[in-house]
Amino acid sequence: MVRNTIFLVSLILVLTLAFAPHASVASELESSGNPHPRKDNFSKWPDFGEGKDWRYFIIDGNGGNISVNGPTTFDNSAAEVTSNKELRFFQVYDPDFDAEYPGQYNNVFMIGFQGYIPNNQRDIIWNFDMKIEPGLYGTTGLVIERKDTFAPDGNFALPFDFFGVIYAGEENFNPGLSCASVVNWTPISKDPINGVNPFQWNAYEIRFHFVDSETILASISVNDTQVCQTTIANYGETEIQIWLDNYKFTLDPSSPQGYTIGFNNEETPQGILFDNIAAKAMPAH
């Protein structure tokens, strides 16, 4: 998704003198300690920043330059709210691709819905609608990761661990729609999602169920049918990431991750549509 050649920085914890949240923060939380339910149906272009549903809008491209909460078009990547009120990420042919070597990575992504954390009373549920545009050659999807995985400059601040739904284009060694669990860039599980046409609208649900302080039972359902379930590390507070990039994964048994990463640049544009992204804490079951 985003480049793994980034320095690790510390996650900052803000404590009050009484070791309790300010009233303004507490008012944003349910009794379970989780944020109130949130949903974005993209009736307009989102607002970004502290206290908003979405924290960052980031485009990584142009030989490694990063734009944070800036123009919606940067290098060959862009985002828009369509006339049908859907969020669309897309990339067009990059005429400077060869000259940008080795910085040929192009990515557009958003981070948001921060702060949800499962406990012994509440599961966390994320819902979203997603539609892949035919011809997509990179990778895309929606995943759950640790809160503040990314620093304010758009670079990595924590190890890249995630669980969620990913789609890889035919140019990759592992194409198609799948449930994926990754720890520090290393795939732990990748289960194909069969019987689902990713090129039409589908309703997805990711659920985190608290097992203990170290373990979460994570599951994914599509159109009300569970398609995968596994245990993962307890991330603590979470956030979502949605993205579209030009990664090309090639099988490489000699690599510690089992693959090597290259980059695609096709003349045919690629795109992904999202809608009705929501998060909430629900009674555990």
Residue 146 belongs to domain with CATH number: 2.60.120.200
In a domain, 10, yes or no: no
If pLDDT is split at 50, 70 and 90, which confidence band does 1 have?
A: low
Residue 23 φ/ψ, nearest 5 degrees = -60, -35
Residue 4 CA to its chain's centroid (Å): 15
CA 222-86-71 angle, to 5 degrees, is: 125
Determine the pLDDT at residue 277.
Answer: 98
Amino acid at 116: Y
For residue 219, the enclosing domain spans: 23-283
| Confidence category of residue 132, pLDDT binned at 50, 70, 90 | very high
Task: State the pLDDT at residue 285.
Answer: 84
Report if residue 3 sits inside a domain: no
57-107 pLDDT, tens digit each: 999 998 889 999 999 999 999 999 999 999 999 999 999 999 999 999 999
For residue 224, list its beta bridge partners: none
Residue 188 lies in a domain: yes
Torsion sign over Cα 269, 151, 56, 191: positive
pLDDT 10s digits, 159-177: 999 999 999 999 999 999 9
Instruction: Give dist(CA 100, CA 94) in Å, integer.
Output: 10
Is pTM beyond 0.75? Reply is: yes
Dihedral pair phi/psi, residue 103, rounded to 5°: -85, 60
Phi, psi of 99, deg, nearest 5? -70, -20
6 within some domain? no
Examine residue 14 and state whether it is found in any structural domain, yes or no: no
Kindly state whether residue 4 falls inside one of the protein's structural domains: no
| Pair 160, 6: CB distance under 8 Å | no
The number of folded domains in the chain is 1
Distance CA 58, CA 78 (A): 10
Tell me whether residue 177 is in a domain: yes
Residue 269 has pLDDT above 60, yes or no: yes
Percent of the chain topping pLDDT 90 = 83
At 28 the pLDDT is 64
Q: Is residue 2 part of a domain?
A: no
